[in-house]
Amino acid sequence: MLVEFDAELWIWDARRDDSWTFVTLPVDASDEIRDRAAATGPRRGFGSVRVRVTIGGSTWTTSVFPDSVRGAYVLPVKRAVRKAESLGEGDTATVAVEVLD
């Protein structure tokens, strides 16, 4: 499963030190990922799902995490990627997420 979308980068309020920056996946894609994860067996820690992500020229493997407040999965965007792609809080990125689980 591959999902492509544009999303604004935001910083997790509990960790405002700029090390926890995320984008939120679309709700419809999150619902599809949740259904797929439920069908593949036991859930991983915190309900996470392994993914391969591409933003610009950067590709990496990580996990997306369910966020009950937003009703969608959230994707952490690590500092090295933000630096390589010249992205900061409030910027919009084009994101491709491939579900691996």
Predicted pLDDT at 43: 65
DSSP letters spanning 32-89: HHHHHHHHTSS--GGG-EEEEEEETTEEEEEEEEEETTTTEEEEE--HHHHHHTT--T
Band of residue 87 on the pLDDT scale cut at 50, 70, 90: very high
Predicted pLDDT at 47: 77
Residue with the larger pLDDT of the pair 78 and 44: 78
Predicted pLDDT at 68: 87
Asked whether the whole model's pTM tops 0.85, one would answer yes
- Span 4-58, pLDDT tens digits: 999 999 998 765 565 689 999 999 999 999 888 777 766 666 679 999 999 999 9
Predicted pLDDT at 18: 54
